Amino acid sequence: MWDRLAESRWMTPHAFQYYCAVSGILSSVLFGLGFVVADFMPPIKPWWTAEQTAHHYQVHTNRVRVGASLIVLSGLFYMPFCAAISSQMRRVPNLHYVVQQLQLSAAAAGLWTFILPGILLATTSYRPERNVEITQALNDLFWICTLMPWPTFMVQNFCFSYAIIIDQRKKPLFPKELAIYNLIVPFFWSGSTGIQFSKYGAGAYNGGISFWMLGVSFCLQLIIDAIFLIRAIRSEPEGGEQIVDMFPNKTQKDVSE
């Protein structure tokens, strides 16, 4: 039975990579769904009093708890997706080892942008009857920890874009337009850098820049990258292929000359 299972099409290297690629879509969906379930769409108001903030958690206690679990689960699917990107980046000729490793390292750090907010949200909803000021402080910590740590994702995007740009083959692994998209999107997230300065307007944690622009562009990017990742996996030979020199000292143009 185990031999048949190991030899089935569901257990091939290609199949495993497809699972990892689809994980990016699942991560995006679960992350957004967590906010919907917790009744954070639209987000609660930063200018609410401690009593109003605590009231939300008291009325929607179980919804917030389920939402917290979904946000944590979204992190579970994020790592396989990033590992698949890292694996496909290795197929790019003359891509230095440090680029692929930096992308994967940033992904490991970015994982906590899913896990930590989920834990904080679960903690906030764990004792809704506590002192309202404590609930408000934990709520603020949840939103800031969710929206502010965007730099690790920018590092990932830039490494991925770099790998796409230097792929000078006639049939590159990823289209150059995807590199441009991954270079531009992180700047939509940078608006949350000053989230601690405002409780009103577009810069607050419920605002158009800090929440809506960041959240929509981030989740959409995961889906788009996952689709092109699936296409790249499909182009990989069934028996695998030789990995090009991981420590190149010359560009592809230099080698051709």
Rg of the chain, C-alpha, whole Å: 21
pLDDT of 237 strictly over 80: no
Give residue limits of the domains in the chain. Answer: 15-251
Q: What integer pLDDT is reported at residue 35 of this predicted model?
A: 96
CB within 8 Å of 180: residues ≥ 6 apart: 161
User: HSE on the CB side for 153, CA within 13 Å?
Assistant: 27
Helix, strand, or coil (residue 250):
coil
Helix, strand, or coil (residue 237):
coil
Task: Report the chain's mean pLDDT, rounded to a whole number.
Answer: 90
**For residue range 129-171, what is the model confidence (pLDDT) as tens digits?**
999 999 999 999 999 999 999 999 999 999 999 999 999 888 9
DSSP 124-174: HHH-TTS-HHHHHHHHHHHHHHHHS--HHHHHHHHHHHHHHHT--SSS-SS
**For residue range 98-131, what is the model confidence (pLDDT) as tens digits?**
999 999 999 999 999 899 999 999 999 999 999 9
- Taking the mean position of all CA atoms in its chain, how far away is CA 248? 29
To 10 degrees, the CA torsion angle through 63, 66, 68, 70? -130
Check residue 46 and report its DSSP letter: T
